[in-house]
Amino acid sequence: MTISLTKNAAEHISRHLAKRGHGLGLRLGVKPTGCSGLSYDFEYVDEQREDDSVFEDHGVKVFIDSKSLPFLDGVKLDYGREGLNEGFKFSNPNEKAACGCGESFMV
């Protein structure tokens, strides 16, 4: 099992953790929603949960619960800007299809 971050993603997460003044890293998960079935969900982590797997890349920890892990194995998380839009971008080898609006995906 592996989860990786680009340098841009790690720097963005580190900046926000520093701005918050506390936190262990980023929690990444999936939740049922949208036209295709699943969407990515993330939040900053202040406390590790018992069922978390922890991955570290570029000095930043990513926490994933056991239910989300099979859907996220191999994910590479990037952060970038395109025109006026900026945000996280997911490269997920498990993704088989995505909805047209880009808000959800299917594995």
Token pair 């990786």 is at which residue? 4
Domain that holds residue 89: 4-94
Tokens of 55: 């991955």
Domain membership of residue 102 (yes or no) is no
Question: How many domains are there within the chain?
Answer: 1
CA proximity to 30, closest of 81, 87, 73, 78: 73
**Tens of pLDDT along 21-78?**
999 999 999 888 766 578 888 899 999 999 999 999 999 999 999 999 998 999 999 9
Give the Cα separation of 37 and 29 in Å (integer). Answer: 14
Domain membership of residue 103 (yes or no) is no
**pTM recorded for the entire structure:** 0.84
Q: Collapsing DSSP states into helix, strand and coil, what is residue 105?
A: strand
Domain membership of residue 100 (yes or no) is no
Domain membership of residue 35 (yes or no) is yes
Whichever domain contains 38, its CATH number is 2.60.300.12
pLDDT for 82 beyond 90: no
Domain membership of residue 99 (yes or no) is no
